[in-house]
Structure 1
Amino acid sequence: MIYLFPAWQQENYNMEYDPILKLVKIFQHMKEDAQLLLMSYMPFLRYKIENFSLPYWSAFDTIQKIDILTGVPLMLSDLSFPEESEFLYTPKGVVILQEKKKFANVQYNEYGCIEKIYYYQTSLFKVENFDDRGFLSSVEEYQEEKLKKRSYYNEFGEHTLTEYFFPISKVVIEKFGVKGFSKEVYSSINEVLLEALQQKLQQKKEEKQKLISVYQPYLVQILHSLVQQEKITWLIQQNQSFFSLEENEHFNVLEKSERILCDTKCMREKFLHWANENLLSIEEKVESIPFYDLELDLGESNFVQEMLLYVKVNSLNAFKERFIDLLLKKLIENESYYLLITTDSLELEEMIQQKAIQLIDTYFDIDSTSSDFKKTLRYVETKRMQKLLKQDEEAVEHLRKTPLWKQLVAAINVYERLEYRRVFHLYQIRELFKKTRLYIELDEATNFQMQLLALSVGIPQMTRNQFDFVFHKENGILYDEECDLEQEVDYYLKHLANWNQSLIRNIELLEEYDLEKISERWQVVLNGEKN
């Protein structure tokens, strides 16, 4: 049996990027028995994994003494509130008033279900967390907005466990709590979770077991005591930081590991450099092996005249601003170019947008906030849609006789080929990449998942970091602040032969990382051999 420890969290965690899910797919293809061991508190777990067929064991279900596997989330009508409560409905939930003062705030999650209820007196003093199987999962009590304790419940509403945070940190197994544990009072929740896990592993001790975990601080803190009895294989991901733990936790876990697997050769080199700096003799344990397979899913950008440049940027500096200015100037000069700029924040998007407006308006000597621009824009749009009205024609009649007209129309043409988006889901990115001619990554840190998507769609990419799948002027451009940016951009946009060669190289790489070949490599790992 293969036991996998994912680093899932209830909030702010995108399952699409998870390496464990991709490993499960590989093991299922290999006909290997695998089970997920979940160590995080995730009362809305089932909604998060509903699109995946995954056998799992939840440590929190065990210590909360929860036995049911399915259920239906609670609705507002299932809950009771004081009489004369006033309900104010908002886009994100329901605010409940008592005597015109805020009494509670019902928070709905991304699935449209009640996830939490915040209760207030003079300030926040209680939070209820609900399980997607239809019951109250825990209650958090606050003192002066500082978390004092968290009480856990099972599906019958029975109080099973209490976690105290101050004045003394401890965890107490309550009257209706789980039986058969070694103590009634523990120093931390991690200690309780570890005992639940040890009992779980002991039940199947006669079977051959292999433990594989993502190397993540929360999991290391729970599992570092387990490495005295069990050999664990740790997974290190591209761009992962492994510097955030105490040295003794790091060193003990790594030295006693069975293997340390990095998802790229570049990451293996980076990790070994860190290990050598810290005098860790673990080189023989460290290997590189993909945690994923790559599938060919070619786009259509080479069949259309429009050339879309997909730019990802999450911060600005002088160099990035200079690069964006260059792309905007190329957009102005070439009517077949389209520019899509994606960011993670509205604030950054608006900042880039204002700089672009200033550049474009200055170039054409127009004011895009003026009434002349707005009238011209309406004329152009309605004429294109064949919905032009006489009043729209009359509104621009005087403008069409002036030199300003051509400048306004030209500026509108540029603005129509410039788009801003905040894209978070891989399926959205994949669809956009299918129409993209060149992917440009402006940030210093590589977005590994997006690079893999660009590879699978077959498009070249510009990146500032070397990694296993991008080779300079074979299927992409490795650039820095000293290079000739315009020349590098033009390499794929103005030379179709280079673009076609990049496509061929991407297909060759995809063949090396198909499901069958990756499965063969993982079989070597499971057999205890070296790749």
Structure 2
Amino acid sequence: MMFDDAVNLLRMFQQSGEANTTLILNYSPHIRTFLYQQRILPETVWNLFDTIQGLTDVSVRKIRLEDIKWPQGVEFFYTPFMIEVYLNQEHYAKINFSQTGNFFDITYFEGGQTNHQLIFDDRGFVSSIIYFENDQPYYQDYLNLQGTWQFREFLGTENHQVLINPEAQATFAKEVYQDIEELINEKLDQYLTSALTKDDTIVISSDVQHNHFFQKIKENHHVILSFFGDRYPITNQEQLLTDLTDTPFFVVDSLNKIETIAANVDLEQLPGFYEIPPYDTHLNLGHSQRKKELIVYVNFDNLPADQIQYVFTTLFEMMLKNEWIDLLVGTQSQDFGREAYIKQVLESYLSLKPEYEQELIFVDKEKRARGENRVLDDEEEIVRERIDIETIHSDTDLIKVLKYVRIILDFGTPADVLTQIAGISGGIPQVNLYSSSYVKHGENGWILEDISDFEEALLYYLTNLEHWNQSLVHSVKKIEQYTRGEIVDMWKNTIKELKGNEKN
């Protein structure tokens, strides 16, 4: 997930000068690139796999294609993010690159089947090798900087053992581990025992993948769970009660989560909770009032499946009645082909009426990048493109996308918190189906009683600038509530109150 409470909380704490350390427990050979993109200092990160692979004081270097040993006679065929390698007209290897242009992995083939795969670290070395048997992953060797394997993880459906290289045995408690989780648990316990002080508090981005690793440490330290988005199955009563055992309190990104939890679990069985936004606001008011176009932003990811056609055909009708209403559809999904799928969905609804297809034209992004306008072949008239689709890769991306948006539609249950915070920062009124702490009816948005009322809400803001300005004023007031400093203070004061109660 590109949007995560941990990432944004770390960024806010670092920018506020608060001491913190990030624990990376999963195998992430490209984590440094991600941290750089998220503006998080790598010096404050403890990487578990770096520790067990013996990677310390690693200098960054650039690997070039000629640094890899290739047999005589190989041919390279280039695409933007991949190179196919052939030897004697047979597929020999496939090279994948990361978004930054570094080697990501190289897969080697033999006899038409996958033989092995090199996984690269973004610092410029081979981090691990996956060996295949019958075209299926068999085991993975994790290497040190000299290329010597430190431990071997078996990847079969029945065998998940981890075997330690005898040459590296001194740093491990066992020769063979039942699975990778047992090894992670050992090394995490060692680190926490040596690194934590009695005043330290651990904040966990709650996930069933790793919550159980921190059960033991709860005996001597405060462990706080943060529930964000759909990352954790909050409707699983047994799992939730287990994970929150011996936890002083937990944090949610929206009180809507508490309503969902209360439907499955008696809240009296749980510790206290706080709503703390995972994103901070910035005074970054949009410029939609400077444009004649009235851009309506729709969060596609949150549209109820049975209402998608109704929402878009209603918008299309409004666009036909008002030539200056434009549509911007956004998605935070990073799935390959997501934009193409959304366009296909919209095209299926546009085909329902000839007027839709004639008047409501998609933005041609290639021509826009070249600064060209779309012109119909059989007419001289320039046609204004009125439908656009954008993939949101980061919170800063979303701020840019919303710069000229006049109103936001998010019909999620609940609405996306990132979109709500970005909408507040931009002073943009928001139309939602469910109330939240971030959008209040009649203040900075409209809470619908039924989705069929959304046209009325749109017209309220699109046809009366006074209503839009009133929403802007309320948004500016909310910006003050959710600044970086305010959110950091929420965390600090909550933890301070907890420790104060213990002393009393």
**Is TM-score (shorter-chain normalized) higher than 0.5?**
yes
Residue 273 of structure 2 corresponds to 286
Code of the aligned partner of 1:456: S
Q: Distance in 2 between matches of 1:497 and 1:82?
A: 72
Q: Distance in 2 between matches of 1:246 and 1:318?
A: 28
> Do residues 158 (structure 1) and 143 (structure 2) align?
no
What SS class does the counterpart of residue 131 from structure 2 fall into?
strand
What SS class does the counterpart of residue 323 from structure 2 fall into?
coil
> Do residues 355 (structure 1) and 348 (structure 2) align?
yes
Residue 100 of structure 1 corresponds to 89
What does 1:81-480 align with in structure 2 at a 5 Å threshold? 81-121=70-110, 122-166=112-156, 167-177=158-168, 179-206=170-197, 208-224=199-215, 226-227=217-218, 230-243=221-234, 247=238, 250-276=240-266, 281-282=269-270, 284-314=271-301, 317-343=305-331, 344=333, 345-355=338-348, 357-359=350-352, 361-362=354-355, 413=383, 416-444=385-413, 446-479=415-448
**1:158–1:176 CA contact under 8 A, matched in 2:** no
**2:127–2:144 CA contact under 8 A, matched in 1:** yes
Q: Distance in 1 between matches of 2:339 and 2:197?
A: 54
What does 1:503-514 align with in structure 2 at a 5 Å threshold? 503-514=472-483
CA drift of 1:293 comes to 2.6
Residue 57 of structure 2 corresponds to 68
CA drift of 1:41 comes to 0.6
Task: Name the CA shift for 1:420/1:164 in 2 (closer, same or farther; >3 Å).
Answer: closer
What per-residue deviation string (whole Å, max 9, x for no partner) do you get for residues 468-511 of structure 1?
21112321122365533321211111122211111111111111
Q: Distance in 1 between matches of 2:357 and 2:150?
A: 70
Code of the aligned partner of 1:440: L
**2:296–2:325 CA contact under 8 A, matched in 1:** yes
Q: Distance in 1 between matches of 2:194 and 2:360?
A: 73
Code of the aligned partner of 2:186: E
**1:154–1:160 CA contact under 8 A, matched in 2:** yes
What per-residue deviation string (whole Å, max 9, x for no partner) do you get for residues 388-416 of structure 1?
9xxx9xx769xxxxxxxxxxx6xx74x52
Gap regions ≥5 residues in structure 1: 1-12, 369-380, 398-408
Q: Distance in 1 between matches of 2:452 and 2:427?
A: 25
Bigger Rg over Cα: 1
The answer to which of 174-183 and 252-261 deviates more is: 174-183
**1:236–1:263 CA contact under 8 A, matched in 2:** yes
Q: Distance in 2 between matches of 1:322 and 1:142?
A: 49
Q: Distance in 1 between matches of 2:453 and 2:415?
A: 21
**1:191–1:222 CA contact under 8 A, matched in 2:** no
Q: Distance in 2 between matches of 1:185 and 1:134?
A: 29
Residue 368 of structure 2 corresponds to none
**2:343–2:389 CA contact under 8 A, matched in 1:** no
**2:151–2:165 CA contact under 8 A, matched in 1:** yes
Task: Name the CA shift for 1:481/1:474 in 2 (closer, same or farther; >3 Å).
Answer: same
CA drift of 1:465 comes to 3.0
Q: Distance in 2 between matches of 1:489 and 1:396?
A: 33
Q: Distance in 2 between matches of 1:500 and 1:138?
A: 56
CA drift of 1:453 comes to 0.6
> Do residues 43 (structure 1) and 29 (structure 2) align?
yes
Q: Distance in 1 between matches of 2:393 and 2:418?
A: 11
Q: Distance in 1 between matches of 2:454 and 2:346?
A: 21
**1:313–1:443 CA contact under 8 A, matched in 2:** no
The answer to which of 331-340 and 36-45 deviates more is: 331-340
Task: Name the CA shift for 1:230/1:181 in 2 (closer, same or farther; >3 Å).
Answer: farther
CA drift of 1:56 comes to 0.7
Q: Distance in 1 between matches of 2:15 and 2:304?
A: 43
Task: Name the CA shift for 1:229/1:476 in 2 (closer, same or farther; >3 Å).
Answer: same
Paired positions, count: 480
Residue 366 of structure 2 corresponds to none
Task: Name the CA shift for 1:43/1:176 in 2 (closer, same or farther; >3 Å).
Answer: farther
What per-residue deviation string (whole Å, max 9, x for no partner) do you get for residues 365-403 of structure 1?
8999xxxxxxxxxxxx99x89x99xxx9xx769xxxxxx
Q: Distance in 1 between matches of 2:15 and 2:394?
A: 25
**2:320–2:359 CA contact under 8 A, matched in 1:** no
> Which TM-score applies when normalising by structure 2?
0.86
Code of the aligned partner of 1:499: W
What SS class does the counterpart of residue 297 from structure 1 fall into?
coil
Task: Name the CA shift for 1:45/1:366 in 2 (closer, same or farther; >3 Å).
Answer: closer
CA drift of 1:154 comes to 0.6
What SS class does the counterpart of residue 309 from structure 1 fall into?
strand
**2:279–2:418 CA contact under 8 A, matched in 1:** no
Task: Name the CA shift for 1:131/1:526 in 2 (closer, same or farther; >3 Å).
Answer: same
What SS class does the counterpart of residue 179 from structure 1 fall into?
helix
Code of the aligned partner of 2:492: Q
Q: Distance in 2 between matches of 1:31 and 1:396?
A: 60
CA drift of 1:48 comes to 1.3
Code of the aligned partner of 2:325: Y
Q: Distance in 2 between matches of 1:175 and 1:437?
A: 64
Task: Name the CA shift for 1:25/1:132 in 2 (closer, same or farther; >3 Å).
Answer: closer
CA drift of 1:238 comes to 3.9
Task: Name the CA shift for 1:106/1:431 in 2 (closer, same or farther; >3 Å).
Answer: same
Gap regions ≥5 residues in structure 2: 362-370
